[in-house]
Homo-oligomer: A and B are copies of this chain.
Amino acid sequence: MIYIASDHTALDLKKVLVIYLKDNKYRVKDLGTYTHKRVHYTVFAKKLCRYVLSSKASNMSRGILLCRTGIGMSIMANRFKGIRAAVCVNEHMAKMSVKHNNANILCLGSRIIGEELALAIVSIFLNEQFEGGRHEIRVNHYDKIND
């Protein structure tokens, strides 16, 4: 299951991605926003993180968060244990974010990248695999900030 959410600045990009995901036979849950009315991206980041974390197969669930730059979404999402949110602006970052960081949420900026690049990034993000090994040691540190 792919969860997706955006703020008002990225609504149009979200629509494009939802169509692409459905066309490619992914199950998609669009968590809003649904209009161009101004909203707080933080509210949508929290909502999506809770869906990803409470999903029955949460280790298989993925999320896509869209705002103006992707940065605000990533700060909010990475507050949650179990979430590994990656700001990506190109395919290589998307690839490495999964291979090395086991990213489960992709953060894209609607005012940073165009639609076609966004689709290419999403495709790689959803098809790469975590490499494990020494990267697993590091990923395990993410949820242990007090050690």
Chain A residues proximal to chain B, CB less than 8 Å? 38, 40-43, 46, 68-69, 71-72, 74-76, 78-81, 84-90, 92-93, 96-97, 100-101, 103, 109, 112, 134, 137-138, 141-143, 145
Q: Are A71's CB and B109's CB within 8 A?
A: no
Min Cβ gap A55→B in Å is: 18
7 nearest A-B pairs in the assembled complex, by CB-CB distance: A78-B78, A42-B141, A87-B87, A71-B86, A79-B145, A42-B138, A40-B138
- A69-B92, A76-B141, A79-B79 known, 12 other contacts, Cβ within 8 Å: A40-B137, A40-B138, A69-B93, A69-B97, A69-B100, A71-B93, A72-B100, A72-B101, A72-B138, A75-B85, A78-B78, A89-B90
Given contacts A42-B138, A79-B143, contact A93 B109 (CB under 8 A): yes
A68 touches B86 (CB 8 A): no
Query: Are B46 and A145 in touch, CB under 8 angstroms?
Result: yes
- Chain B residues positioned under 8 Å from A43 (CB to CB): 141
A89 with B89: CB separation less than 8 A: yes
